[in-house]
Structure 1
Amino acid sequence: MHTDGPTPLLADLHCHSTASDGGLSPASVVARAAGNGVGVLALTDHDTIAGMGEAREAAVAEGMHLVSGVELSCLWRDQTIHVVALDFDPEAAGFLAVLEGQESVRHERAGTIDERLRKQGLPSVLERARALAAGVPGRPHFARALVDAGVIPGERQAFQRYLGTGKVGDVATCWPELALVVGWIREAGGIPVLAHPRRYGLTNNKLRKLVHAFQNAGGQALEVLSAGHSPQDSGYLTRLCLDGGLWASGGSDFHWPERPWSELGRLPELPAGPEPVWWHFRRETRARLQGE
């Protein structure tokens, strides 16, 4: 996926580091992306921008453009939905307060996961999970911590037995509503992007309703390209963009090097039709991307 303009740049606008549930440090994510030819990157860790400073320093060293990003969790009809915020002001006081609240929810969730695992007769692995996460741990960090503790042979087995959907470690979280999250992003000057829309298991009819609610709340773009989206998925999402006048975005959703299907920068070009999201970045961001 390349930007347009005098010097097209390979762009990846959705990826994760150890600041949330990724496997590489922010600096390592940037280095890996640069090695894959990425020129424009958004580090979009879950509900935190804790890795942004490290990523920014690495991006300067690599000669890469880093766009502010974060993936926020929210609820729509009691289902967890993710919205990527792009090109917001990372120093906006109100938005930083929102992120602090989201992080607090994740800390509480981590404590509940550990408590539930201990009730299954397992040792406490919360501190190890926190160390692995370099921040707020998620289920992948608990899986690795259980392996490190020698109580289960592999992370896949940890999910199958304890941490997967519907298992004891799958803790429901009371996230804010979709409309609130979209509004917070807009107030910080950012662009709300509905993340990986085809991954929520919704029928076409329900997905249209989600997109309609997202747009009514002030949402502006759909992630047309994402790991796991088929060409048919991307085509359908492109039509939804065109129908609603939404912009198109895309990202690998990179988490771990061991997952080649979500490698950094390995994206097709955006389908023709919808306006690319980077056309609507803030003026100073667009100027940087165009080398002005």
Structure 2
Amino acid sequence: MTIDLHAHTTASDGTLSPRELVALAKKTGLKAVAVTDHDTVSGLAEALEAGRELGQEVIPGCELSVGEGRQSMHIVGLWLTPEAPKLREALEFVIRERGNRNHKIIAKLNELGLDITYEEVAERAGGTVGRPHMAQALMARGLVSSVNEAFEKYIGNSGAAYVPRTRLSPAQALEVLRAEGATPILAHPYLLQLPLSQLEVRLRELMDLGLEGMEVYYTEHSNDIRRAYRALADRLGLLVSGGSDFHGSVKPGIHLGRGKGDLYVDDNLLEAMKAHRRERGQWV
């Protein structure tokens, strides 16, 4: 059976509520789905409740945006509790800074003659406000024709209204995830754009800080990359994970459990993670 250990809801920048995501996982026939919203655990209680009601296994998680110098990366923590007090405390500062950043981006957009307000963006979000919600607001006003255009021209890393974000460092993120009893996974390593030899060096550094796994099977990873990353993970003794990075209609070409159509994440990977956690006396 297949699983998906990387998916988002309206608690961050997805378009399905936690309950709707779990229902879709059930309808799709997934053995398990992980709810891994960006920098928040606010959707986990709803997702777990829906999982119990529908008979769908839900892995509670979170995707942390971390950075050091010019390098940014995402680290997924799996098997978090909805309370996650240590993580919530660490994220309070990040969330405050994200709010400040959002206001700055919208101010820049306004200076460029793009008339949107923070209020309409927040209304679209329903939860954590992010750049995809700004892109949706720009589209709704007819100021751009697509989400991609919004990012390329205005709010992406090279856009005219871009504002850098404040993030946890990899060391801080891994420390707090381990303190919460989560299993830390490096998400979509391909996006680091590192040659395999340099990626191995970086992985070893992160392992020294507490990293336990890497996302081998991912929507944007080609079959060749998946094979190379699987060999690297096995050689380093890292847990192997995978997921679609499903966001709903904001990324219409990416389907839960299937990515762009060719993704398959075997449930044996989940069983290996559970065995690893049991060996460490952690709950599954």
Question: 1:12 aligns to what?
Answer: 4
Paired residues for 1:100-179 under 5 Å? 100-179=92-171
RMSD: 2.4
1:106/1:136 contact within 8 Å kept: no
2:278 aligned with 1:278, yes or no?
A: no
2:88 aligned with 1:93, yes or no?
A: no
Distance 1:217 1:68, change over 3 A: same
Q: Any gaps of 5 or more consecutive residues in structure 2?
A: none
Which amino acid in the other structure matches residue 194 of structure 2? L
Paired residues for 1:62-101 under 5 Å? 62-101=54-93
Q: How far is 1:72 from its partner?
A: 0.3
2:40 aligned with 1:44, yes or no?
A: no
Paired residues for 1:243-282 under 5 Å? 243-257=235-249, 259=251, 261-266=253-258, 267-270=263-266, 276-281=272-277
SS of the residue 2:138 aligns to: helix
Task: Give the % identical residues.
Answer: 35
Q: Any gaps of 5 or more consecutive residues in structure 1?
A: 3-9, 287-292
C-alpha separation in 2, matches of 1:272 and 1:24? 27
SS of the residue 2:12 aligns to: coil
Which amino acid in the other structure matches residue 235 of structure 2? D
SS of the residue 2:76 aligns to: strand
TM-score by length of 1: 0.87
C-alpha separation in 1, matches of 2:159 and 2:77? 30
1:42-96 CA-to-partner distances (Å, cap 9, x unmatched) read 1101001111122122222221111110000111442111000001233232222
Q: How far is 1:212 from its partner?
A: 1.4
Which amino acid in the other structure matches residue 33 of structure 2? L
Which amino acid in the other structure matches residue 40 of structure 1? A
Question: 2:19 aligns to what?
Answer: 27
Paired residues for 1:175-254 under 5 Å? 175-254=167-246
1:43/1:67 contact within 8 Å kept: yes
Q: How far is 1:164 from its partner?
A: 2.5
Distance 1:54 1:17, change over 3 A: same
1:173-195 CA-to-partner distances (Å, cap 9, x unmatched) read 13121111111100000011000
Which amino acid in the other structure matches residue 256 of structure 1? G
Q: How far is 1:209 from its partner?
A: 2.2
Q: How far is 1:124 from its partner?
A: 3.3
